[in-house]
Every structure is written in C-alpha cells, then in structure tokens.
Amino acid sequence: MKLCLWLVCLVAFLSAASLGVTITGHLPEKGDLYIALYRDEYGFGDFSRAYKKTVISAESVVTDTLRGSFHNLTVGDVYALFVFQDISESGVLDRNFKSQPVEPYGFSGTKKEHRLMSFIEACFIFRPSMEIDLHLHYEE
C-alpha cells in the first residue's frame, strides 16, 4: 500500500512542469500587465477567475519583450492564456461600445485574430518545458 501511494506521488511530481511565456507588443510604462492562465472555459477572460495569474507593474514594463512563467502545471492538461495591459488602471480589459478591446490584449492558441477569443480557440495541451509567445494587439 505504501509503495502504491509513493508511486502515485512520484508520478504526480514528475508530471508537473513549467510554462514559459514571452510577451511582445505592449506599451512600455503605460499600464500594468495582467497575465492569466485558465484550465477551462468557466470565467475565461475574467482575471479574477483565472487558475493562475500575475500582474506586472507598469514600472517594470520597460522593455519590448517580457518573460514570465507558470510553475507546477500538469503535463497533458489543457490550458489557455489571456493577457492584457491595463492602460486605464481599471483592473479589467476596457472595451468600446461594440465590445471591442481598447487596450492591448492577447491570447494563446493558433488563431491570432484581432478579436476576443473563446477558451476553445485559445487552448493548448501542455507539454514539458513548453514556451508560448504572445503578441498583444492594440487598435488605437
């Protein structure tokens, strides 16, 4: 029984890995960068409902390229990333009367369209030592 429990713990430990994220297209020193990782469609795009999240302060957003990572992710699980730069300092992605984003934003996934995406469009299957490049879109 102890051996079985030990093997389960070992498998869980070995299947946890980190996701590297590289972000470009943001406006240096213009607003905090909100980076969110989701495990399912529930609350996708709502920063407060993210599985894992981080905020990079505007003072730290001084280069053209930013790197970050999420740790202890399960290999083989499905995730999606959503990033936005909060220029207005409201804590949410601001939108115009047509519900289109008016602040820099980006998603993971293969489609790189200039519109908000669903979890299904943005999701990926996590692999060990995976790296994702995100370019933020911004319509002035």
Residue 19 located in a structural domain = yes
Confidence (pLDDT) at 7? 37
| 8 A C-beta contact, residue 45 and residue 52 | no
Higher pLDDT, 72 or 27: 72
| 8 A C-beta contact, residue 87 and residue 104 | yes
Total domains present in the chain = 1
Distance CA 126, CA 91 (A): 28
**Mean pLDDT, rounded, for 107-129:** 85
- For the chain, what percent of residues have pLDDT higher than 90? 59
Residue 140 located in a structural domain = no
**Mean pLDDT, rounded, for 35-40:** 97
> Over the stretch 39-49, which tens digit does the pLDDT of each residue have?
999 999 999 99
**Mean pLDDT, rounded, for 88-105:** 90
Confidence (pLDDT) at 140? 67
**pTM: predicted TM-score of the whole model, two decimal places:** 0.83
Residue 78 located in a structural domain = yes
Confidence (pLDDT) at 9? 43
Indicate which CATH number applies to the domain containing 125: 2.60.40
Domain that holds residue 53: 2-135
Distance CA 104, CA 140 (A): 9
Residue 86 located in a structural domain = yes
> Over the stretch 121-133, which tens digit does the pLDDT of each residue have?
999 999 998 999 9
**Chain centroid, CA 123 distance in Å:** 10
